C-alpha cells in the first residue's frame, strides 16, 4: 500500500516537471522572438554602449500608421550608431553632419556610392546631404530612358552654371540621384516592359536609403519630394502607388509630399509604364506638378487626358511650354522650367507640417563603395592665382632668348 502511494506521488512529480519544462521552452521561444524584433530598429544604439543615450517612449505620442516600419522609441539621432555609418568612414570632422544639423565646411559636398536595387544589383548613386538635419526635406531624382544621374549633375545656365542637385542642396534639400538598372555606371542590358516595371524595386531601394538617412537624423522623410523625367516620371508614379512605398493606403498619412512629373510618357510609348489611371488616383492625395512641351509628341496624349483631373485640386499644377523639347532637354533648355519645378517643390515639401520621428526599418539597407566628393569653389583670388600660374611658363619662355648661357 505504501509502495502504491509512493508510486502515485512520483508520477505526479514527473508530470509537474514535464509541465515546468514545457513552460521554460515557451518562455525561451517568446524571449527569442522578442529579441529578434528588437534588432530591427536600424542604427539604434544600446544603452550600455559607451556614449549611448537611453531611449524613452513618449506616452503622449501616437503611432503613425501607414508608413514603412513602425514608429521607433523616442531617442532621436543622439542614440544612433554614428560610428557604424559607412559615410562617416569617408568624411572628415569638417564634412560630417551631426544629429543637430551642424554646418559643413564652406565647400559643397556629396557622396558617391552604390545601393542595392532590383535583383540584388548594386546601383550607382550620389547623395547630397543637407545642412538642416531633421528639418530637411529629401528629394529623389529619377532619370529617363537611355540617360543617367549625370543629367542632374550637369550645370544649368538658368541656375548660373550650378547643377540641379547642387541647387536643391543650396536650398536646404537633401538630394539623392541614382542610375536605374541597365543605365549609367551600372552594367548595361536590354530592358523589356517587364524589366522596366521591375525597376520600381530600384526606386524602393533608393527610398529605403533615405529612410536610413532619416533615422540618422539627416533629413525628414515625411517631407519627401520626387522628380521623375520621361520614363522615370512614369516609374515614379507607379512606384508611389505600390504597397510599402511612400504613399500609404486607406487615407493614412504618407511620406510623399510632392511628385513632379516632367514629360511623362503616353501609354503607347511608355515601356509598359501606363500611368493615366494611377495619376488620376494620386492627384487627390498627393500634390502633383506636370511639366511638358505643347508639341512634345511623346507626352501630349497623357498630359491632355490627365490635365482636367489634376486641375480639379488647387495645389496641383500643369505647366505647358511652347516647345517640342522633351525630358531633360525641357528642364535644361526651356527658360523657367527648372525654376517652376523648384518653386513647386519648396511650396509643398518645406511647409508640410510633419515633425521628425524615428522609424523602425524592417528591411536591411545595404550600400557600399562610398567616397566623398567636394566641389572646388572658384574665388577671384583663386582665378587670379590660376591665371598667374598659367602665364608663368609663357613668361619664362619669352625671357629665355634674352638670357644667353655662357659657353
Q: Band of the pLDDT at 19, cuts 50, 70, 90?
A: low
In this structure, are residues 294 and 322 in contact, taking their beta carbons and an 8 Å threshold?
yes
pLDDT, tens digit (0-9, with 9 covering 90-100), for 348-400: 998 888 889 888 777 778 888 889 988 765 544 444 444 444 444 444 444 44
Per-residue pLDDT at 404: 39
Is the predicted pLDDT of residue 86 greater than 90, yes or no?
no
| Residue 336 pLDDT > 70 | yes
- Does residue 10 surpass a pLDDT of 60? no
Please tell me the predicted confidence (pLDDT) of residue 88: 78
If you average pLDDT over every residue of the chain, what do you get? 76
pLDDT value, residue 54: 33
**Does the pLDDT value for residue 288 go beyond 50?**
yes
Residue 101 pLDDT > 60, yes or no?
no
The pLDDT value recorded for residue 107 is: 56
Query: Parallel, antiparallel, or unpaired for β 224-229 and 138-142?
Result: parallel
Least confident of 187-196, 244-253, 330-339: 244-253
The pLDDT of residue 304: 95
- pLDDT(228) > 70: yes
pLDDT at residue 92, as a whole number? 57
What percent of the chain is modeled with pLDDT above 90?
A: 45
pLDDT of residue 125: 97
Please give the DSSP secondary-structure letter assigned to residue 294.
Answer: T
| Interatomic CA distance for residues 317 and 315, integer angstroms | 7
Residue 255 in contact with residue 171, Cβ under 8 Å? no
Candidates 267, 283, 367, 348; CA nearest to 318 is 283
Query: Considering the domain 86-371, what is its CATH architecture?
Result: 3-Layer(aba) Sandwich (3.40)
pLDDT interval class at 128 (50, 70, 90): very high
Q: What are phi and psi of 406, to 5 degrees?
A: -75, 140
* C-alpha to C-alpha distance for 231 and 227, rounded to whole angstroms: 11
Which cell numbers in the block locate residue 160? 548660373
Q: Please, which pLDDT band fits residue 42 given cuts at 50, 70 and 90?
A: very low
Domain boundaries, the chain: 86-371
Amino acid at each position: 500500500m505504501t509502495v502504491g502511494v509512493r508510486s502515485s506521488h512520483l508520477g505526479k512529480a514527473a508530470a509537474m516537471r514535464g509541465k515546468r519544462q514545457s513552460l521554460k521552452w515557451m518562455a525561451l521561444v517568446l524571449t527569442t522572438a522578442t529579441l529578434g524584433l528588437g534588432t530591427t530598429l536600424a542604427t539604434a544604439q544600446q544603452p550600455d554602449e559607451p556614449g549611448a543615450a537611453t531611449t524613452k517612449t513618449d506616452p503622449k505620442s501616437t503611432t503613425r500608421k501607414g508608413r514603412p516600419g513602425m514608429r521607433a522609441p523616442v531617442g532621436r539621432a543622439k542614440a544612433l550608431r554614428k560610428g557604424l555609418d559607412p559615410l562617416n568612414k569617408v568624411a572628415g570632422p569638417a564634412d560630417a553632419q551631426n544629429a543637430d544639423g551642424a554646418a559643413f565646411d564652406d565647400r559643397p559636398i556629396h557622396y558617391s556610392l552604390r545601393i542595392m536595387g532590383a535583383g540584388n544589383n548594386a546601383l550607382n548613386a550620389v547623395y547630397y546631404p543637407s545642412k538642416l538635419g531633421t528639418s530637411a526635406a529629401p528629394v529623389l531624382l529619377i532619370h529617363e530612358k537611355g540617360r543617367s544621374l549625370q543629367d542632374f549633375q550637369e550645370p544649368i545656365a538658368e541656375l548660373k552654371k550650378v547643377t540641379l542637385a547642387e541647387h536643391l542642396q543650396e536650398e536646404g534639400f537633401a538630394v539623392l540621384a541614382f542610375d536605374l538598372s541597365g543605365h549609367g555606371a551600372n552594367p548595361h542590358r536590354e530592358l523589356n516592359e517587364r524589366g522596366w516595371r521591375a525597376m520600381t524595386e530600384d526606386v524602393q531601394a533608393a527610398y529605403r536609403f533615405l529612410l536610413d538617412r532619416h533615422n540618422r537624423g539627416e533629413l525628414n522623410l515625411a517631407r519627401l519630394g520626387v522628380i521623375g523625367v520621361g520614363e522615370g516620371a512614369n516609374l515614379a508614379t507607379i512606384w508611389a502607388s505600390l504597397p510599402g512605398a511612400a504613399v500609404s493606403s486607406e487615407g493614412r498619412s504618407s511620406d510623399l509630399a510632392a511628385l513632379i512629373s516632367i514629360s511623362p510618357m503616353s501609354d503607347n510609348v511608355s515601356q509598359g509604364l501606363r500611368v493615366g489611371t494611377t495619376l488620376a488616383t494620386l492627384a487627390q492625395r498627393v500634390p502633383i506638378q506636370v511639366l511638358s512641351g505643347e508639341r512634345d509628341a511623346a507626352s501630349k496624349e497623357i498630359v491632355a487626358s490627365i490635365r482636367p483631373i489634376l486641375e480639379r485640386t488647387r495645389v496641383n499644377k500643369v505647366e505647358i511650354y511652347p516647345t517640342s523639347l522633351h525630358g531633360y532637354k525641357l528642364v535644361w533648355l526651356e527658360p523657367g522650367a527648372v525654376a517652376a519645378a523648384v518653386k513647386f517643390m519648396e511650396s509643398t515639401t518645406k511647409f508640410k507640417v510633419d515633425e521628425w520621428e524615428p522609424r523602425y526599418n524592417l528591411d536591411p539597407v545595404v550600400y557600399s563603395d562610398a567616397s566623398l566628393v567636394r566641389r572646388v569653389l572658384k574665388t577671384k583670388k583663386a582665378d587670379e592665382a590660376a591665371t598667374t600660374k598659367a602665364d608663368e611658363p609663357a613668361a619664362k619662355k619669352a625671357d629665355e632668348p634674352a638670357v644667353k648661357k655662357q659657353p
